[in-house]
Amino acid sequence: MMGNVTLLEFLSMGREVANHRPWPRYQLDAKGWRQLVEQMTVSNWEILAEWGEPAEVHVLLRGEDSGAIAVASHPCPDGAFFALGQVRPAAIRLERAIRDLWGLIPEGLEDQRPWLDHGHWRVTHPLGRPRQYDGGRHLYKFLTAEGDGLHQIPVGPVHAGVIEPGHFRFHCQGETVVRLEERLGYVHKGIEGLLAGKPILDAARIAGRVSGDATVAYAIAFARAVEAALGLDIPPRAHWLRALMAELERIANHLFDIGAICNDAAFAIMLSHMGALREKILAANHAIFGHRLLMDRVVPGGVSMDLDEAGRQRLAALLPRLRHGFKRAVALYDQTPSLLDRTTGTGMIHGTLAHRFGVSGFVGRASSRSVDARRMPGYPPYDDLDFAIPVLAEGDVHARVQIRMEEVRASLALIEQILTGLPDGAFLTALPMRAGEGVALVESFRGEVAFWVRLSETGKVVRAHPHDPSWFQWPLLEAAIEGNIVADFPLCNKSFNCSYSGHDL
């Protein structure tokens, strides 16, 4: 182990891979990789994503203080690698997934249970060296809790509400949750397998459907990764229109979730109020951009359609109406003690745990982590825009609601700035045919979305990996519910609102 060493200094002992932009990628041999894992026990470097290839494992890292970002890769032709999950619990599920998909064994990882592979695919290691699977069903052993009067409550994968599928196994003592264990992977669609070999624009369509609620953020992340790989600069107007769509998406999701959190505390009027407000945004999206959720509006090279003057005016007219309706909702929330009683002190995440898992988004910001990809590493046009990043330390459902309310206000102010300062010019540029590798980090409403791509010189995606912020938020939900009552689970769950689809891929 080395003492005070920055991420880039440390990684420079490896071999730098050419044509990887905008941040470098280094290949480490077995010794170097092991040193990296050991160094992670003392460094405050954060894992942003970890994924595989048939004979190589990659990790996207951020040196927390310096903000430097780099990919560390470890070729492992013998099919095994020293597991990062031994020292960073956030990587455990990522490495279980790497084993399922690419067949690379995370050595030293205590939990070797499969994660995404439920035994139904008819192949094992579909993205590595696939083999016909003729075994029986997987028996999944849940973690246990023992003691007098403990009972289990299995929930899912088909849930009571209109939400995505996943299984929750509760161990309870009376009303109190002693342990929650999640089992996910039900909506695994093999997205990385589908992306490989696709022409860039076909892949963009799939990238925008990794998690439908964050379609704009995913489309931007994919487009930025492709543009980085091609070394392509897009017109300034395209950057600004992307940000406009991203902030509209952020507000629509926050409004709906704040309403749904209150609804899960049996305060249904808030959901109705927020639903009506949200509908104003989606209706405007539909009228201006032709799609209510803005799918396929951000494409590699820019955006697929421009904002005309009528659209600009309609959005400008919408802002005061949203502000007004939102102010009413906040007043209602703030002055309803029975509701505050449910959200305050419920589902606590301590700041140390949030840091340990490197969690991003409002879950992190409600637990004293001030990370926001729009600021660090930052990307255009946010460097020209003025916005604050709210941070609280309480870490309960109430704090997450407060952060989201603050973010709605910040996004409304951002949209105002974008509508005023929107530069003129082209909104789309042609893609050159060039080979290369690119990576991007984009702030979705939920947190940091990472996208890594490798392109061939024929304009096709060779490999791509999307990473959802939910990977690091799901495990914290298990911690948040501990010691709370079962009836507060929907409340806690909605205050996180992790993506199943984005996580399961």
Residues 159-178 that bind other proteins (CB under 8 A): 160-165
Q: Which is nearer to other proteins, 257 or 437 (CB)?
A: 257
Of 43-51, 269-277, 299-307, 389-397, which segment contacts other proteins by CB under 8 A? 269-277
Tell me which of 21, 34, 280, 355 binds other proteins, using CB under 8 A: 280
Could you say whether residue 499 binds other proteins (CB under 8 A)?
Answer: yes
Question: Is 80 in a helix, a strand, or coil?
Answer: strand
The C-alpha atoms of residue 207 and residue 275 are separated, in whole angstroms, by 27
Sorted by sequence, the CB contacts under 8 Å of residue 151 that are 6+ apart come out as 171, 172, 173
Tell me which of 89, 190, 311, 459 binds other proteins, using CB under 8 A: 190
Total residues in contact with other proteins, by rule CB under 8 A: 62
Tell me which of 31, 120, 151, 324 binds other proteins, using CB under 8 A: 120
Cis peptide before 22 (omega within 30 of 0): yes
Cis peptide before 380 (omega within 30 of 0): no
Could you say whether residue 324 binds other proteins (CB under 8 A)?
Answer: no
Q: Which residues pair with 49 in a beta bridge?
A: 60
The C-alpha atoms of residue 386 and residue 266 are separated, in whole angstroms, by 37
Q: Which DSSP letter does residue 35 get?
A: H
Q: Can you list the positions of beta strands (E) in 336-405?
A: none
> Two tokens at 422?
């929107």
Give 120-137 as a DSSP string: -SSEESTTSS-EE----P
CB of 188 to other proteins, least distance (A): 5
| Four-residue CA torsion sign, 264, 270, 276, 277 | negative
Q: Which is nearer to other proteins, 7 or 216 (CB)?
A: 216
Could you say whether residue 130 binds other proteins (CB under 8 A)?
Answer: yes
Per-residue binder mask for other proteins (CB under 8 A), 233-262, x = binder: -----------------------x------
Sorted by sequence, the CB contacts under 8 Å of residue 145 that are 6+ apart come out as 171, 178, 179
Per-residue binder mask for other proteins (CB under 8 A), 36-75, x = binder: ----------------------------------------
The C-alpha atoms of residue 163 and residue 494 are separated, in whole angstroms, by 10
Tell me which of 273, 404, 409, 503 binds other proteins, using CB under 8 A: 273
CB atoms closer than 10 angstroms to residue 254: 25
Q: Which is nearer to other proteins, 176 or 272 (CB)?
A: 272
Q: Which is nearer to other proteins, 29 or 202 (CB)?
A: 202
- In our burial notation (b when 16+ CB lie closer than 10 A, e otherwise), range 47-56 reads bbbbbbbbbb
> Two tokens at 409?
């206000």
Residues 212-231 that bind other proteins (CB under 8 A): 212-213, 215
Per-residue binder mask for other proteins (CB under 8 A), 298-317, x = binder: ----------------x---
Could you say whether residue 194 binds other proteins (CB under 8 A)?
Answer: yes
Phi and psi at residue 476, to the nearest 5°:
-70, -25
Tell me which of 245, 295, 363, 418 binds other proteins, using CB under 8 A: 295
Tell me which of 188, 374, 463, 503 binds other proteins, using CB under 8 A: 188
Could you say whether residue 282 binds other proteins (CB under 8 A)?
Answer: yes
Could you say whether residue 328 binds other proteins (CB under 8 A)?
Answer: yes
Tell me which of 6, 56, 121, 434 binds other proteins, using CB under 8 A: 121
Tell me which of 34, 113, 118, 355 binds other proteins, using CB under 8 A: 118
Could you say whether residue 157 binds other proteins (CB under 8 A)?
Answer: yes
Q: Which is nearer to other proteins, 320 or 483 (CB)?
A: 320
Of 41-49, 201-209, 236-244, 443-451, which segment contacts other proteins by CB under 8 A? 201-209
Could you say whether residue 126 binds other proteins (CB under 8 A)?
Answer: yes
> Two tokens at 244?
């406009």
The C-alpha atoms of residue 298 and residue 428 are separated, in whole angstroms, by 10
Could you say whether residue 470 binds other proteins (CB under 8 A)?
Answer: no
Could you say whether residue 460 binds other proteins (CB under 8 A)?
Answer: no
The C-alpha atoms of residue 378 and residue 397 are separated, in whole angstroms, by 28
CB of 152 to other proteins, least distance (A): 19
* 425 in Cβ contact with 197 (< 8 Å): no
Could you say whether residue 186 binds other proteins (CB under 8 A)?
Answer: yes
> What number of helices (H) and strands (E) belong to the chain?
16, 18
Give 433-476 as a DSSP string: ---EEEEEEEE-SSSEEEEEEEE-TTSBEEEEEEE-THHHHHHH
Q: What is the dihedral of CA 253, 256, 258, 259, to 10 degrees?
A: 180
Tell me which of 81, 264, 500, 503 binds other proteins, using CB under 8 A: 500
CB of 204 to other proteins, least distance (A): 10
CB of 463 to other proteins, least distance (A): 15
The C-alpha atoms of residue 9 and residue 53 are separated, in whole angstroms, by 25
Could you say whether residue 501 binds other proteins (CB under 8 A)?
Answer: yes
Could you say whether residue 318 binds other proteins (CB under 8 A)?
Answer: yes
What residue ranges bind other proteins (CB under 8 A)? 116, 118, 120-123, 126, 130, 157-158, 160-165, 185-191, 193-194, 205-206, 209-213, 215, 256, 269, 271-273, 275-276, 278-280, 282-284, 286-287, 292-293, 295, 314, 318, 328, 331-332, 335-336, 499-501, 504
